[in-house]
């Protein structure tokens, strides 16, 4: 197949998330084929067009993310983490492939730290001009020569990471993003330019404020790092507040599809709770600073 959406769901928690991701794709971008790599194929019957059986010999989920070129049924793939939701038609994202084999939102970094490593040391060690800092929960890749080289190189680094101090995720898995970062720099795959993106490619809820979301109405806007964005895909990762937003949006989706009476009222109550938290937390932080 030419193009489609791919996600990865291993374990009951991530399977439930991937189910809601499928609902959001069906609601806002129904024509795009959907594929899932999962350990529970029966769970997704009717929700994904292509269901790929996950087995332990594939490695842990971070390992699998660096080998998606081997598992994706599409030549051009939009990969989305299971804890993302789609807020509008995402077919436009394939326009970003012009001159690129890997498309992502992020930055080129030459100084500072990435995880616990000094970026300058990484550039010297791997003889690269910069690293590509990214959120690997939302990106596109193409199975052309460059795209395959990026993923193969990142996967090899993940396997043999001598000299890189990378903290384990949950004390047992190496994250994928540091290895992506080096591979992107090696093969000159820059992040999408702001002038082309207009805040639409996809964003996480880290470092955001003024959040407005409604998965049913297709409303998605917030200020991220001072910039007003309207992402077509939202990644609910990193903070407790993001978790509350995700719960409210999941409930909206489930109530919409299951037609449960009173469902929207419950999700609105959660949003009221989030609004109160957003007011109380800064006040509490100020109070702590005043006491000290």
How far apart (Å, rounded) are the C-alpha atoms in residues 163 and 166? 9
Task: Kindly state the tokens that stand for 57.
Answer: 């010999």
Looking at residue 185, what is its pLDDT?
96
Phi, psi values for residue 246, rounded to 5°: -65, -45
How far apart (Å, rounded) are the C-alpha atoms in residues 288 and 282? 10
Q: Please, what sign has the CA dihedral across residues 134, 135, 138, 141?
A: positive
Looking at residue 284, what is its pLDDT?
40
pLDDT in tens, 219-233: 999 999 888 999 999
* Residue 194 parent element (H or E): helix 194-197
Task: Kindly state the tokens that stand for 238.
Answer: 């990193």
How far apart (Å, rounded) are the C-alpha atoms in residues 85 and 246? 9
What does each of the 292 residues of the chain score in pLDDT, given as a tens digit?
Answer: 799 999 999 999 999 999 999 999 999 999 999 999 999 999 999 999 999 999 999 998 889 999 999 999 999 999 999 999 999 999 999 999 988 999 999 999 999 988 878 899 999 999 999 999 999 999 999 999 999 999 999 999 988 877 777 777 666 788 899 999 999 999 999 999 877 888 899 999 998 989 999 999 999 999 998 889 999 999 998 788 898 889 889 888 888 887 556 566 666 777 677 667 665 555 444 544 444 4
- What's the CATH fold of domain 3-195? Spore Coat Polysaccharide Biosynthesis Protein SpsA; Chain A (3.90.550)
Give the total residue count for the chain: 292
> 205-244 burial, b for 16+ CB within 10 Å, e for fewer?
beebeebebebbeeebebebeeeebebbbbbbbbeebbeb
Contacts of 119 (CB under 8 A, 6+ apart): 109, 110, 111, 112, 113, 131
Task: Kindly state the tokens that stand for 139.
Answer: 């990106």
Task: Kindly state the tokens that stand for 59.
Answer: 């490695």
Instruction: Please state, as a whole number, how many other Cβ atoms lie within 10 Å of the Cβ of residue 108.
Output: 16
How far apart (Å, rounded) are the C-alpha atoms in residues 139 and 235? 11
Q: What is the pTM assigned to this prediction?
A: 0.89
Complete DSSP assignment for 259-291: T-TTHHHHHHHHHHHHHHHHHHHHHHHHHHHHH
Residue whose C-alpha is closest to residue 235's, from 244, 246, 225: 246
Task: Kindly state the tokens that stand for 125.
Answer: 């060690």
Looking at residue 41, what is its pLDDT?
96
Beginning with the edge strand found earlier in the chain, give each strand of the sheet holding 208-214 in spatial order.
Answer: 208-214, 219-224, 227-229
Q: Are the beta carbons of 6 and 37 closer than 8 angstroms?
A: yes
pLDDT in tens, 36-84: 999 999 999 999 999 999 999 999 888 999 999 999 999 999 999 999 9
Domain regions of the chain by residue span: 3-195
How far apart (Å, rounded) are the C-alpha atoms in residues 96 and 91? 10
- For the packed helices 12-28 and 240-258, what is the interaxial angle rounded to 10 degrees? 60
- For the packed helices 263-291 and 240-258, what is the interaxial angle rounded to 10 degrees? 170
How far apart (Å, rounded) are the C-alpha atoms in residues 35 and 79? 10
Q: Rg (Cα) of the chain, in Å, rounded?
A: 19
């Amino acid at each position: 197949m030419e193009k489609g959406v791919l996600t990865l769901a291993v374990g009951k928690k991530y399977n439930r998330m991937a189910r809601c991701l499928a609902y959001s794709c069906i609601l806002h971008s129904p024509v795009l084929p959907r594929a899932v790599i999962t350990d529970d194929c029966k769970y997704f019957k009717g929700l994904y067009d292509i269901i790929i059986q996950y087995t332990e010999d594939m490695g842990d989920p971070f390992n699998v993310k660096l080998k998606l070129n081997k598992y994706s049924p599409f030549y051009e793939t939009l990969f989305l983490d299971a804890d993302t939701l789609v807020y509008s038609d995402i077919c436009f994202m394939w326009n970003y492939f012009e001159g690129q084999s890997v498309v992502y939102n992020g930055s080129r970094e030459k100084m500072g730290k990435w995880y616990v490593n000094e970026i300058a040391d990484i550039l010297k060690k791997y003889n690269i001009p910069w690293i590509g800092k990214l959120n690997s929960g939302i990106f596109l890749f193409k199975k052309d020569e460059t795209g395959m080289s990026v993923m193969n190189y990142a996967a090899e680094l993940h396997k043999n990471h001598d000299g890189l101090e990378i903290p384990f995720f949950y004390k047992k898995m190496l994250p994928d993003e540091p290895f992506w970062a080096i591979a992107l720099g090696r093969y000159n795959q820059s992040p999408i330019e702001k002038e082309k993106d207009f805040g639409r490619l996809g964003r996480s809820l880290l470092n955001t404020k003024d959040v407005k979301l409604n998965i049913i109405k297709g409303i998605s806007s917030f200020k991220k790092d001072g910039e007003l964005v309207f992402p077509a895909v939202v990644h609910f990762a990193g903070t407790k507040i993001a978790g509350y937003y995700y719960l409210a949006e999941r409930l909206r989706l489930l109530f919409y599809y299951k037609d449960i009476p009173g469902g929207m009222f419950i999700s609105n109550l959660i949003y009221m709770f989030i609004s109160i938290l957003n007011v109380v937390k800064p006040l509490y932080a100020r109070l702590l600073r005043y006491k000290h």
